[in-house]
Amino acid sequence: MDGLLYLIPAALLLGLIGLGAFLWAMRSGQFEDLDGAASRILFDDEDR
């Protein structure tokens, strides 16, 4: 049972990282244009 003492915090930490990443992605506007992002990748542009 001792393993729980660090496994549970580790699991929670990983979960929190995921949550943080999602909230960050949302704040930085990555969910604003889902249609555009899907097809934008099809155009290579040497200018950018």
Partner 1 sequence: MNHIAPHVAVAALGSGACLHCGAPAPDGAAYCCGGCEAAHALIDDLGLDLYYRRRTLDPELRAPRPQDEPAPDYAGFTRATDEGACQLDLAIDGLHCAACVWLIESVLARQPDVTAARVNMSTSRLRLGWRGPVRRGEELAALVRKLGYRVIPFDPSGFRATRSEADRRLLRAMAVAGFAAANVMLLSVAVWAGHSQGMGPATRDMMHWLSALIALPAILYAGRPFFASAFGALRAGRTNMDVPISIGVALAAGMSLVETINGGQHAYFDSAITLLFFLLVGRYLDERARGRARGAVEHLLALQSGTVNVIAADGTLKATPPSQVAAGARIAVAAGERIGIDGVVREGRSDIDTAMVTGETVPQAARPGDAVFAGTINLTAPVTIEATAAGEGTLLAQIVRLMEAAERGRNRYVALADRVSRLYAPVVHLAALATFGFWTLVMGMAWQPALMIAVSVLIITCPCALALAVPVTQVVASARLMRQGILVKSPTALERLQRIDTVVFDKTGTLTVGRPELANAGEIDPQVLRAAATLAAASRHPLAQALLRAAGPVAAASGAREIAGSGMALDTAAGEIRLGSRDFAGDAEAPCRADMELWYAAPGAAPVCFRFRDRLREDAAKVVAELQRRGYAVTLMSGDRRETVAAIAQAVGIEDWQAAVKPQDKAAALAALTAAGRQPLMVGDGLNDGPALAAACASASPATAVDLARNAADVVFQGDRLAPVAEMLAVARRSGAVMRQNLALALLYNLGAVPVAVAGLVTPLVAAVAMSSSSLLVIANALRLRGWRGR
Work out the end-to-end distance of the chain between its first and last CA atoms, rounded to an integer number of angstroms.
54
Alpha carbon distance 15, 2 (integer Å): 21
The SS3 of residue 15 is helix
CB of 19 to partner 1, least distance (A): 4
Q: By CB under 8 A, is residue 7 in contact with partner 1? A: no
Q: Tell the smallest beta-carbon distance from residue 26 to partner 1 (Å).
A: 6
Residue ranges that bind partner 1, judged by CB under 8 A: 1, 4, 8, 11-12, 15-16, 18-19, 22-23, 26, 31-36, 39-40, 42-43, 45, 47-48
